[in-house]
Structure 1
Amino acid sequence: MVTLMRKQFIIAVIVAALLAIAVTFGVKYAQQGPTLGGDFTLTYRAESFHFAEKAKPLNILYIGYAKCPDVCPMALSHTAQAIKEASEKERSKVQMIFISVDAANDTADAVATYAEQFNPAFIGLTGTKDQIDAAIKLFGASYMIEENKKSYLGYSIAHTDRLYFLDKKGRVRDMISSPRSSEEILQKIKELL
């Protein structure tokens, strides 16, 4: 009888320990959540741009296209204003990266020039459709190209309207959906530096 109780006690202790370990790992995973982001390679003008080699302490990423009539210029304008209002020390630790999803129509030079119109330090990237798709998939972003006879381009692109704030490894530290104010972006820069 005593031996049976001892075995039951030992089993109960082992089960309790396993449950404690499972709960600890479960809570830790729930707090972390899934990780978005990562390293990618695209084209800047005629050169390969490898994120891991060019990353700063804080990187702001926006995904769109150079001929976008509304949300892209608005997001890039607000970001340019926020970076302009940041201190010199903050500006030295931040870079803005714009990825065009319009592989068929946005050349590497056109995307780089477009991004630089908002701020000469902004980096405009593109690549093949496969390269672009692989890069934006890391961030849970998407786009859809649609024929649109009412558009001056003959098409339009619906795309994720979000600023991603990345660390040096390309991991998403935070996001702002539909970025509509430089103040909100500047506050996020200060929080994350």
Structure 2
Amino acid sequence: MVKRQTPGSPERKFSLPLGLIAAIVLATVTAIWLISVMAGRPPANTAQENARALIGGPFTLIAEDNRTVTEKDFAGKYMLIYFGYTFCPDVCPTELQTMSTALDMIPQDKLDKIAPLFVTVDPERDTAPVMKQYVALFHDRLIGLTGTIEQINDMKKTYRVFAEKTEDTGASDYLVDHTSIIYLMDGNGEYLSHFSYGTTPEEMAEKLTRLIP
């Protein structure tokens, strides 16, 4: 954490570039995610088998039109899920734009099988109307999901998502450190694959086209 300078303290002669700080934070939270996924379980034949057993499950959330939705509403669809928040200054918009561009690059028959979801990790600020306005900036198929703090926390646990508010911030002016991973779940709601931060739209589109029949 980079501390704020206090009055009367000597002026800093150097500082880390913002891009490097962001990279360090993303590497840290991704490492936490990997440890969380792999810890406390017997070895499996592959990392994908571990992930399939540990990631995903039932959830109850609130859609942007204030409907209550569960995983059953997306049965038969390949859920493409990103966890983030609308006040995110850079990482979330970048990843949602990558997802949106990739969706526009795949064949229509495969696109029709995908339910792209943006799940907030900041339900206190990301109400249903806020989510509706935000997802409209990216793709007409993107569905924004929020909920109570308890509902969001339950889904974070189910999907092994790390997210927490940063320290030394005001009551309503804060950032949220979180994993930046896009999950692809199959038609039964089971983990199929994921896309790490930095995946290009072309790479994502190729993989979606290959994995979705």
User: Quick check: 1:109 aligned with 2:124?
Assistant: no
Checking the alignment, whether the CA contact within 8 Å between 1:44 and 1:109 is kept in structure 2 is: no
- TM-score, normalisation: structure 1: 0.78
Residue segments in structure 1 that go unaligned for 5+ positions in a row: 1-25
Match of 2:188 in 1: 169
Amino acid of the residue matched to residue 45 of structure 2? A
Query: Deviations 1:96-128 (Å, cap 9, x if unpaired)?
Result: 100011111111121122122200110000111
User: Partners in 2 of 1:188 and 1:112 — Cα distance?
Assistant: 28
Seen in structure 2, the aligned counterparts of structure 1 residues 59 and 157 have a Cα distance that, compared at 3 Å, is: same
Look up the match of 2:45: 30
The residue that corresponds to 1:42 in the other structure is 61
- Secondary structure at 1:134 match in 2: helix
For residues 121 and 56 of structure 1, what CA distance do their matches in structure 2 show?
Answer: 16
Distance in structure 2 (CA, Å) of the matches to 1:91 and 1:109: 26
Answer yes or no: is the 8 Å Cα contact 2:107–2:209 preserved in 1: no
Instruction: Please tell me whether residue 100 in structure 1 is matched to residue 120 in structure 2.
Output: yes
* Cα separation, 2, equivalents of 1:138 and 1:186: 26
Matches of 1:134 and 1:62, distance apart in 2: 15
Q: Report which of the two has the higher share of strand.
A: 1
State the one-letter code of the partner of 2:190.
Answer: R
Letter in 2 for 1:30: N
| Partner-residue secondary structure (3-state), 1:63 | strand
- Normalising by structure 2, we get a TM-score of 0.71
Q: CA RMSD in A?
A: 2.0
Following superposition, the deviation at residue 82 of structure 1 comes to 0.6
1:90 to 98, 102, 110: 110
Question: In the alignment, does 2:96 pair up with 1:76?
Answer: yes
Structure of larger gyration radius: 1
- Sequence identity of aligned pairs in percent? 28
Per-residue CA deviation, residues 9-67 of structure 1 (Å, 9 max, x unaligned), is xxxxxxxxxxxxxxxxx99x534325111121100021101122224431100000011
Counterpart in 2 of 1:125?
Answer: 145
Contact 1:38 1:169 in 2 (8 A): no
- Worse overlay, 134-143 or 30-39: 30-39
- Cα contact 2:76–2:187 (8 A) shared by 1: yes
My pick for the range that moved more, 113-122 or 74-83, is 113-122
Report the Cα offset of residue 187 of structure 1: 1.4
Counterpart amino acid of residue 33 in structure 1: N
